[in-house]
């Protein structure tokens, strides 16, 4: 099959995650991966982002298929069930909200800046070496929080890539669930 320019977007994923090791402020770039899929779905593009452009999906595909890291097993049935997908989306949003709340508290001076990356919402990793100052504390706090989310979800994606099929993450990806919900709402109102 013919390769397109957008078949190389997995590189973006690697560059993004790498930048976070050197300058945590680069985490802000990741907002593109949040807003772009939503905007495409809102303006009627359906799940074009998942289908063609998702850098993470491509990376998982590459690791699972090309590098043969995937067991290629059928995932458990609950993974694609609505209760699990919506439940994971809800959990994800609560954690995202908590991250925004901490960002606010740091901005309001009620909390000191925490220079950590939190893996899997629980494991605190020291990360101060990727912060070089020069911005308001809340800007830095958001970077640490947002990068934590990106690293955590990539890690979950890699775990399910290894255990099941390469792009198993796509089944319960909160962004994917949201864009499908938006697509459903659109088709219902048409």
Partner 1 sequence: MIEEKPRKKRKAQVAKQDCVACGCCTKVCPKGAIRVYKGLYAQVNEGLCIGCGRCAAECPAAIIEVVKVDA
Spatial distance between the Cα atoms of 40 and 182, rounded to a whole number of angstroms = 10
Q: Tell whether residue 167 is a contact of partner 1 (CB under 8 A).
A: yes
Residue 124 pairs in a beta bridge with 118
What number of chain residues touch partner 1 (CB under 8 A)?
A: 35
Minimum separation from the CB atom of position 159 to partner 1 (A): 14
Which DSSP helix (H) or strand (E) runs through 124?
Answer: strand 123-126
Residues 29-88 touching partner 1, rule: CB under 8 A, are 41, 45-48, 50-52, 57, 61, 72, 74-75, 79-81, 85
Minimum separation from the CB atom of position 37 to partner 1 (A): 10
90-129 footprint of partner 1 as x/- string (CB under 8 A): ----------------------------------------
Strand 123-126 and strand 116-119: the pairing is antiparallel
Out of 103, 141, 148, 168, the residue judged to bind partner 1 by CB under 8 A:
168
The secondary structure of the chain in percent helix, strand, coil, rounded to multiples of 5, reads: 70, 5, 25
Spatial distance between the Cα atoms of 171 and 173, rounded to a whole number of angstroms = 6
Minimum separation from the CB atom of position 94 to partner 1 (A): 22
Nearer to partner 1, 56 or 118 (CB): 56
- Residue 183: partners with Cβ closer than 8 Å, 6 or more residues away: 41, 46, 47
Which DSSP helix (H) or strand (E) runs through 125?
Answer: strand 123-126
Spatial distance between the Cα atoms of 122 and 18, rounded to a whole number of angstroms = 22
Minimum separation from the CB atom of position 155 to partner 1 (A): 17
The residue range among 9-17, 23-31, 146-154, 164-172 that interacts with partner 1, by the rule CB under 8 A, is 164-172
Give the other-Cβ count within 10 Å of 112's Cβ: 10
The site for partner 1 (CB under 8 A) is made up of: 1, 41, 45-48, 50-52, 57, 61, 72, 74-75, 79-81, 85, 164-171, 176-177, 179-180, 182-184, 186-187
């Amino acid at each position: 099959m013919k390769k397109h320019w957008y078949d190389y977007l997995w590189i973006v994923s690697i560059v993004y995650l790498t930048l976070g090791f050197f300058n945590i402020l680069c985490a802000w770039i990741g907002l593109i991966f949040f807003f772009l899929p939503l905007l495409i779905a809102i303006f009627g593009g359906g799940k074009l982002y998942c289908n063609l452009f998702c850098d993470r999906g491509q990376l998982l595909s590459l690791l699972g298929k090309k590098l043969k890291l995937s067991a290629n097993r059928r995932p458990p049935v609950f993974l694609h069930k609505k209760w699990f997908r919506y439940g994971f989306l809800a959990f994800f949003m609560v954690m995202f909200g908590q991250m925004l709340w901490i960002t606010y508290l740091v901005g309001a001076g009620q909390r000191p800046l925490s220079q950590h990356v939190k893996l899997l919402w629980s494991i605190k990793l020291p990360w101060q070496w990727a912060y070089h100052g020069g911005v308001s504390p809340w800007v830095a706090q958001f970077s640490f929080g947002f990068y934590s989310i990106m690293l955590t979800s990539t890690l979950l994606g890699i775990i399910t890539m290894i255990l099941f099929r390469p792009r198993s993450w796509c089944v319960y990806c909160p962004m994917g669930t949201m864009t499908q919900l938006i697509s459903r709402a659109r088709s219902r109102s048409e």
